[in-house]
Amino acid sequence: MLLQEISQQYPIKDIYLRLYITSRFLLTYTALKQFKEAQKYCNKLLKISEKLDQNDVDQASVHYPVTEFYLATHQYALAHKNLVKTEIFFKAVQSPLQLSKNHLLWFKLDSTEGNYLSAISHYQQYKALADSSLNETTSKHIEQLQIEFDAEKKDQDIKLLEKESKLQQGKLAQANQTRKWTLGVATLLLIISGLLITNSRLKHRTNKKLRIQQIEIEKKNNSLQHLVQEKEWLVKEIHHRVKNNFHIVMGLLGTQSGYLKNEEAIVAMSESQHRVHAMSLIHQKLYQSDNLSAINMADYIHEVIDYLRDSFNIRQSIQFNLQINQIELDLSHCIPLGLIINEAVTNSIKYAFPDNKKGVISISFKHSSENHLLLTISDNGVGFPPGFNITSPDSMGLKLMQGLSEDIDGKFLIRNNNGTEIILDFVYDPDITISISQVNAEVTNSV
């Protein structure tokens, strides 16, 4: 791991840097579900915390990862104790953003323990604090724009005054020319001297004005760059929040399934969790990527397959043959394809290999021509049962795949071919898709 190599190569003496690095280790091992290693770093982090002032703002780097670890390892009593402590701390240091995260952790804990009314209350407080932080940022941005507008207006007023000054100077020059005939050589020399002085002053003023304009242009360029970066951050934040909301939905479905006794209902809940995860993964890939409009399908499909392997625990019995080209698709195509792959692979895992037989599931995604993409999902299992009507299936999963194929104007085919084979052929032109998205955005803004 990169953090371990850096820590070993460069020993950390500063307590605050050790605090930050240890918290990163704890979050990383918790996310990887390596709880034994995570417990070590949790203990280290708590020891470092004891050496700091309990009101130190850097204690925030301790509270959040420790609570996440307690929740992940089902140590709910410790999680509850730590949340009570951290709520008092964040109120004391007046940190609305950290306090909103604390309410989100309360929500996870209450949802897990079945305290739904308390969970809803904490989630509402989380949303209120998060939205207030966003509104504060927006207000500051509006104030900045108002200041820039006032500055630009002042510049225009200054330009008008300079024009009036030039007109007056022109009138004075004409008056001086009429006096040349009467004042003689001496007056002429004085006028020439005056003109030279005036010219020097004008050049000085012009150069000064150009320098001021150059500074203003640089400020505006920096401001525009800041706005672009802020817009990208907001879009990533939106995808991040959508991903988090999907994870909340998955958590609620998992919690609900724990109270069900009907096997069909439990299976339906599990399948719904898989579908929600397929969509959540898309938003996760978007906010983790520099490209906020397209997703690399090779990486995405591999992550979906890894998730299904872990969910069904089939790494020893079913092998996957993935032949995925490096193709980037926009959001309107990623979600239907992700759900189709999820449904097809889930069906193969559940029905193609009865009695824990070993088998292979193959997935191919490539260009069949310049603007045509071909998705093929097949297995070497038992195929369809006798009497199954391929043209008019009554399975929700197959109907869902057909409907999603129609959403992207694709040709959907399913057949028996030494097992089950699903073929989806559709047209994808990035330039046309981007143009349509821009038109839709313009229509939405005009409305």
Q: Is the pTM of this model over 0.85?
A: no
- Separation of CA 308 from chain center: 23
Query: How far is the C-alpha of 375 from the C-alpha of 363, rounded, in Å?
Result: 7
Pairing status of strand 294-296 against strand 359-367:
unpaired
pLDDT, the chain, mean:
77
pLDDT tens digit sequence for 101-158: 777 787 877 787 788 777 788 787 777 777 776 656 655 665 676 676 667 767 777 8
What DSSP character marks residue 351? I
Reduced to 3 states, what is the DSSP secondary structure of residue 410?
coil
Burial class from Cβ neighbours inside 10 Å (0-12, 13-18, 19+) for residue 1 reads exposed
Q: Which of 49, 115, 56, 52 is nearest to 80 (CA)?
A: 115
pLDDT the model gives residue 446? 36
Record the tokens describing residue 438, joined without a space. Answer: 């821009």
What CATH number labels 2-135?
1.25.40.10
Contact yes or no for 86/226 (Cβ under 8 A)? no
**Residue with token string 């609620």:** 252
Task: Enumerate the CATH 3.30.565.10 domain ranges in the chain, comma separated.
Answer: 297-446
Asked if residue 374 has pLDDT above 90, the reply is: yes
pLDDT tens digit sequence for 164-195: 888 888 888 888 888 888 888 888 888 998 88
Asked if residue 72 has pLDDT above 90, the reply is: no
Record the tokens describing residue 86, joined without a space. Answer: 């951290």
Asked if residue 434 has pLDDT above 50, the reply is: no
Record the tokens describing residue 234, joined without a space. Answer: 């907001």
pLDDT tens digit sequence for 325-353: 988 888 788 888 888 988 888 888 888 88
Query: How far is the C-alpha of 43 from the C-alpha of 403, rounded, in Å?
Result: 51
Beta strands in 335-419 (DSSP E): 359-367, 372-379, 411-416
CB atoms within 10 A of CB 12: 14
Q: Which of 256, 258, 304, 309 is nearest to 277 (CA)?
A: 304
Phi, psi of 14 (to 5 degrees): -65, 130
What's the topology of domain 297-446?
Answer: Heat Shock Protein 90 (3.30.565)
Pairing status of strand 359-367 against strand 318-324:
parallel
Task: Enumerate the CATH 1.25.40.10 domain ranges in the chain, comma separated.
Answer: 2-135
Confidence band of 297 (pLDDT split at 50, 70, 90): confident
